[in-house]
Amino acid sequence: MAGLHDTLDSLSLKSSVAYVIDQETQEILLSKNDQAVLPIASITKLMTGVIVRESNLSMDEPIMISQEDVDTEKGSRSRLMVGATLSRGELLHLALMASENRAAHALGRSHPGGLSEFVKLMNAKAAKIDMKDTFYVEPTGLSSKNQSSAKDLATLVGFAYNDLVLRDLSTSHSHAVSVGNKTLQYKTTNNLVRSPNWDIGLQKTGYISEAGQCLVMQAQIAGRKLIMVFLDSAGRFSRIADAERVRKWVETYHSARINS
């Protein structure tokens, strides 16, 4: 609606917003509409993970999925039925790896002080790490009122990367959970973590209609640790294609200088 897709770039990216920086030097390798403030969909769950990890609550504590965790805004589906009980750690795993909305909502709802306190902590953390364009209203990303900019999300990725658990859970290929007498098998929403061409340290995908296809990652490419942000990508597979375009471009033109 803002005409961001009319912005041209040298790589012909399908994402209307893109931002790639060197994690160590902060050199900007690619920038496209990086200050635009847009809905961020399930990229939200990365901040949800940060707050859960910083709460120092037991990862083994059982949490029951309640009717409150059912999505009434988008009507999204979930295999976690009301009454299912998982540990906080399992819910965090499913939220980050498989973008499980009821898992993310349950993490916020069960936090001391409830959902409203959890959202306050999300916004306070964003302010503390200088995410000036960011605002959260809930922990899943289903609301289009959760908004941020590519620069802010790069800051968040860099911060979250410091937590080994967030790195491991977000880049997990698959995970099985036992719910009652059933075993539910979940898979990553980002197939790039399975690819031998990629060395991904942290990632999160997102999609709602208002946000388009979104992707944030920390990845090592051509000897450089990079943070990559793609927002409002046009098609189902275009965010992945954009990431591949950037990888090949970096490998060709931005390889790390190795002293002989």
Q: Which residues are catalytic?
A: 42, 45, 99
Between helices 44-54 and 114-128, what is the axis angle to 10°?
100
Residue 13 and residue 230 in contact, taking contact as beta carbons nearer than 8 Å = yes
Enumerate residues 6+ apart whose C-beta is below 8 A from 238: 14, 15, 213
Instruction: Show the DSSP H helices in 18-67 as ranges.
Output: 44-54
Residue 62 and residue 85 in contact, taking contact as beta carbons nearer than 8 Å = yes
Name residue, tokens 């990431």. 243
Q: What angle do CA 61, 167, 144 make, to 5 degrees?
A: 80
Please name every residue paired with 86 in a beta bridge, in sequence order, or none if there are none. 63
Among 41, 36, 34, which residue's Cα sits nearest to residue 19?
A: 34
Residue 202 and residue 166 in contact, taking contact as beta carbons nearer than 8 Å = yes
Cα–Cα distances in Å, from 146 out to 11, 140, 151, 172? 28, 9, 15, 25
Residue 218 and residue 229 in contact, taking contact as beta carbons nearer than 8 Å = no
